[in-house]
Amino acid sequence: MSSEPIQVFIRFRPLNDQELIDNDLPMWHITKNTVSIRKEHVEDLIDEKKIPPSFNPCFHYNHIFSSDETVYPHQHPQLSSPRVKNINFKFQNLNDENQKIYEIIAQKNVLSTLEGYNATIFAYGQTGTGKTFTMFGTTLGNENMSFISNKPRGRRFRSPTSRSRSINSRYRSTSAFGYKFEKLERPKKSGTANNGMIYLSLSDIFKAAGNCKNKHFFFKCSMMRIYNEHIYDLLKEPDDLTSEILTVEESADEEFYVKGISEHVVTNIEEAIEKLARGEMNRQYAANNLNHHSSRSHTIFRMSIKSLEVVPKKEEEVDAECEENFETITTESILDFVDLAGSERSSVGQIDDGKDVINLSFTSSPFDQNRVVFDGKCVNMSLFYLCQVINKLSELKKGINKNNLHIPYRNSVLTKILRSSFDGNSRTSIICTASPALSQFEHTLSTLRLANSARILTNLIKPNIKRETNYQILQSYQQDVAELKKELEKAKEHGWQFYNQNNIVKCQLENKLIKLTEMYNNMNLSGTLIVKEDIESNYTILSSTISGDLMLLNKQINEFNQNTLSKAHIKFDTSGQIAQLRLGIMRNENRKIIERIDNSNKNLSMLKIAKTSYVNDLEKCSSIYDKVLQESSELKDNKISGFCAITELKKKAAIYNEGIGLENLSDFQLDSLEKLILTRLDGVKSTKVKRKYKEKILAIEEKLRKQLPAHIVNDILSNCNFT
C-alpha cells in the first residue's frame, strides 16, 4: 500500500464569443505550474473590493493548461482590432489539445486500472468553462452535432411528437465524440473531432487489453446522473428513467455503493461508446422532458474492469503434495469519470436561508421558478458538501482542527459515491476548468482555491489483486452459485407475490366488468331505465377504465417479469462468462496434466522393459565373465603345467641327446634311466619278433581259411594269443 497525492490540474478555456464581444480581458498570469493575478489588475480588484489590499496569491498545481487564445488581447492581432466584436473567434489548434491533456493527466492512471488499481478522473468548475468539453469531448465546427457537449438551454417544453422525433434522429445521426451512433466510425483525422477524456481512456484501455495476450479482461459499464439528490440510472430505457430512483447503501466494510444500478457488459470500444451514447441520450431526454437542468446535475460514467491470468506458481510456493502448480490471478478495478455540475451554485451560506443567488431569467412560470430554486439548492448542497469534504480533509492533512475529525461524507449522495476517490483507494486526477476572463474573477478564484485544497490530499493506493488456486476458485464459485440461487428464489417469491396481488386485483376488476355488463343488460331488458344515456355513458367510462386498468396491470406484470429476468441475466453474464473461462482454463490444465501422466506412464513401461533386458544382459554378461575367468585360470594352469613339462622335456632331451646333466641325477634316477633304456631296447626287439611271426601267422591263417569255415578259423585265432 502506498500513499499517492491527488493530482490537480487547471484548464483555462479560451475567451468565449460573449466575453470577446464584451471586451472582457484575460486576467491571469499563467505558467506551466503557477497561476497568479496579472499585476495590472491587482489595484483595480482592490479598489473594487474584490480582494483585500495585501492579497496576491500564487497558486501551484501539477500542470496548468491554457490555450493560445488566453493571451492578452493586445498581443493578438485579431483581438487587438477595434472590430473585435464582429469576429467569430473560433478556437484553433484544439484537435490535439484533449489528447495532450489526457496523456498528462490521465493515461498512466487509466492504464493502471488494467492492473487492478482504481482511478477517478473528474472535472470541477464553473458552468460553461469546459467540464463536459474536457470529459466528453465535442465535434468542433458544428457544435449542434455534438450530442455530448451541446446541452439544451431554454428549449425545454416540446410536443411529444417533436420530442420522439428528436430522440430518434439523435440515435440515427448524432455523432458521439466524432462517432456516428449507428456505424460508430472513427473520425477521420481531418481536424474536426475533439475526443474527450472518456473516449481517449476507453480506446486506450481496450487497445491495451487487446494487446495483452496472457490475460482475459471483462468490462462492465454503468452511468448515473445525480440531480436534486436523486440518482437516475442513465442506461435504462428513456421511459424507465424516472421509474426507479436509486439509493446509496453502505456495505458491511463501510463502502458506499449505488443499489440496483444496471451494469452492462461491454467487450469493445464500440459497445462502450454505444452505452455512453445511450446514457447521454437519456441525459438529454431528462433535460428536455423532465426539466432536469444539465448544468445542475452530476454525471458519473463507471467502468468495472476484471482481469484473469493463469500463471505457474513460484518455485518456493510449489507444494510437493498438491497437484496444482498453477494459480489464477484476478484483478478488479473501477474507473470513474465524473462530470460535476457547475460550481458557481455551490457558494457557502446560501443554502439554509433560501436566498440562493440563481439566475431565473431563463424560467417562465412560477412553477419553474420554485423548481429552479429547489434544484439550485440541491446542487448547492451536494457541491457544498463536496467542497466541505475536500476542505476538511486538507485541514486534517495540514494538522488543523485535528480534534474535529468528522468528515461529512454522509451528507449528500455525491460525497458518498465519491468517497473512495478522496479518502480511499483510488488514483484521482481532478481537472478544474476555469474562464480566464476578468468578469469571472470570483468564480475562477473560488475554483483555484478548492483546487489548492485538493492538491495536498493523498490516497492510500493498493491494487485489488487476488491469487487463487483452482480449488479456491471452485469454492468461490460454489458460493456464487448458492447466492445466485438464493437471489433467484427471492426474486421468484417477490415476483409471485406481485403477480398474485395483481392477479387478485385483475380478477376483481374482471368480475366488476362482468357484473356491470350484466347489470347494464338487465336494465336494458327490463326497460325501467329513464336515463338510459347516462347509464350507457357511465358504463362506457367504467368499462374503459377497468379495461385500461387491466391493460396497465398486464403491462406491469410483463415488465416486472422482464426486469427480474434481465437483472438475473446481467448478474449471471459476467460471473457466468468468468466461470466459463475459468472452467475452460481448468479443463485445459486438466488435459495437460492427463497428457503428462500418460507420457510418464509410457516412459515408465519403457523403462521397465529396458530394465528387464538390462537385467538379462547383466546375467548373460556375468556368466560369460565367469566362464572367461575360469577359462583364463585354466589357461593359466595349463600354461604353467605346460611350461613345467617343457622344462622337464628339455632336461630329458638334453640327457638323451648329449648326456648333459647326468651328473646331477641321483643314483635312483640313474637306475631308473638305465631300466628305461633297457625296456626300450626290449620293446624294439619284441617288435621285430612280432613282425616276423605275424607274417608267418598270416600265412597259416590264409591256409586255414582255405581249408576251414570262417567261424572256426576266427575261434582258433581268438584262442591263440597272437596279436
Ligand X SMILES: Nc1ncnc2c1ncn2[C@@H]1O[C@H](COP(=O)(O)OP(=O)(O)OP(=O)(O)O)[C@@H](O)[C@H]1O
Q: What residues line the site for ligand X (CB under 6 A)?
A: 13-14, 16, 67, 91, 94, 125, 127-133, 138, 143, 149, 151, 294-295, 342, 433
- Which ranges constitute the DSSP H helices of 399-469? 413-417, 419-423, 441-454
What is the separation of C-alpha 374 from the centre of its chain, rounded to a whole number of angstroms? 42
Choice between 120 and 295, CB closer to ligand X: 295
In the complex, the smallest distance separating the C-beta of residue 568 from ligand X, rounded to whole angstroms, is 36
Choice between 294 and 394, CB closer to ligand X: 294
Choice between 51 and 140, CB closer to ligand X: 140
The answer on whether 129 is annotated among ligand-binding residues is: yes
In the complex, the smallest distance separating the C-beta of residue 257 from ligand X, rounded to whole angstroms, is 26
DSSP conformation letters of 508-565: HHHHHHHHHHHHHHHHHHHT--S-HHHHHHHHHHHHHHHHHHHHHHHHHHHHHHHHHH
Contacts 24+ apart (CB under 8 A), 384-389: 384/346, 384/347, 384/348, 384/351, 385/411, 385/412, 385/414, 385/415, 386/340, 386/346, 386/412, 386/414, 386/415, 386/418, 387/346, 387/348, 387/450, 389/415, 389/422, 389/423
Choice between 67 and 415, CB closer to ligand X: 67
Rounded (5°) CA angle 216-220-223: 160
Choice between 68 and 249, CB closer to ligand X: 68
Instruction: Render the burial of 531-545: b for 16+ CB within 10 Å, e for the rest.
Output: eeeeeeeebeeeeee
In the complex, the smallest distance separating the C-beta of residue 67 from ligand X, rounded to whole angstroms, is 6
Sign of the Cα pseudo-torsion (101, 105, 110, 115, in order): positive
Instruction: State how far the Cα of 229 lies from the Cα of 232, in Å rounded to an integer.
Output: 10
In the complex, the smallest distance separating the C-beta of residue 250 from ligand X, rounded to whole angstroms, is 29
**Strand segments (E) across 452-496:** 458-461, 465-468
Residues near 31 by beta carbon (within 8 Å), at least 6 away in sequence: 64
The answer on whether 466 is annotated among ligand-binding residues is: no
In the complex, the smallest distance separating the C-beta of residue 17 from ligand X, rounded to whole angstroms, is 9
Sign of the Cα pseudo-torsion (516, 519, 522, 526, in order): negative
C-alpha distances (whole Å) from 228 to each of 224, 288, 293 are 13, 16, 10
Choice between 124 and 385, CB closer to ligand X: 124
Q: What is the 3-state secondary structure (H, E, C) of 48-90?
A: CCCCCCCCCCEEECCEEEECHHHCCHHHCCCCCCHHHHHCCCC
Which residue in 290, 385, 328 sits closest to 584, CA to CA?
328
Residue closest to ligand X (Cβ): 130
In the complex, the smallest distance separating the C-beta of residue 428 from ligand X, rounded to whole angstroms, is 19
In the complex, the smallest distance separating the C-beta of residue 276 from ligand X, rounded to whole angstroms, is 16
Choice between 98 and 118, CB closer to ligand X: 98
Instruction: State how far the Cα of 465 lies from the Cα of 285, in Å rounded to an integer.
Output: 39
The answer on whether 131 is annotated among ligand-binding residues is: yes
Instruction: State how far the Cα of 83 lies from the Cα of 336, in Å rounded to an integer.
Output: 45
In the complex, the smallest distance separating the C-beta of residue 546 from ligand X, rounded to whole angstroms, is 47
Choice between 334 and 437, CB closer to ligand X: 437
The answer on whether 116 is annotated among ligand-binding residues is: no
Choice between 63 and 571, CB closer to ligand X: 63
Cell of residue 117, nine digits: 488499481
Give φ, ψ of 301 to 5 degrees: -110, 125
In the complex, the smallest distance separating the C-beta of residue 299 from ligand X, rounded to whole angstroms, is 9
Q: Is 29 helix (H, G, I), strand (E, B) or coil?
A: strand
In the complex, the smallest distance separating the C-beta of residue 221 from ligand X, rounded to whole angstroms, is 21
Give binding residues as ranges: 125-132
Give binding residues for ATP as ranges: 125-132
